[in-house]
Amino acid sequence: MDAGPLVALATLDHPLVPAALAFLNRSSETLILPAPVAAEVDYLLQARLGPRGNTEFLQDLAAGRFVVECLHAPEYSTVLALNDRYRAFSPGLCDLSIVVIAGRLGVSRILTFDVRHFRAMTPLQGGTFTLLPMDPWTPG
């Protein structure tokens, strides 16, 4: 998962919120959140909603609503290589952590509103990313 949908669900400030909510309601998949993305969500919620704007998100983390995955030390070399490869549009640590963790887990579906970055980047295992909620998806 990327930060955009989570922040938008809390602030209701994106036209794809209904589609993201529909995806989350019908999906039984494990929701994986890279640790850098969790930190970004926390920061953005406080910046947009005030000092307690992150409370529900922290409650979700405490309740285990998301599986938070950390980058392993050797994976930072992959982050660095991807940063060089995609330098032209500066994806940053959060987006690159999504690519690396998705590669580790062998997945290519990402809940994101960031079409610019994730249409340009490719999964480590090859192919293209499925960007939810925009791309066709069948619950599995």
Q: pLDDT tens, 29-69?
A: 899 999 999 999 999 999 999 989 999 999 999 999 999 99
Q: pLDDT tens, 84-100?
A: 999 999 999 999 999 99
pTM of the model: 0.93
The verdict on whether omega for the bond into residue 133 sits within 30 degrees of 0, i.e. cis, is yes
Q: Where are the domains of the chain?
A: 3-132
CATH of 3-132, one of 3.40.630.40, 3.40.50.1010, 3.20.20.150, 3.20.20.370: 3.40.50.1010
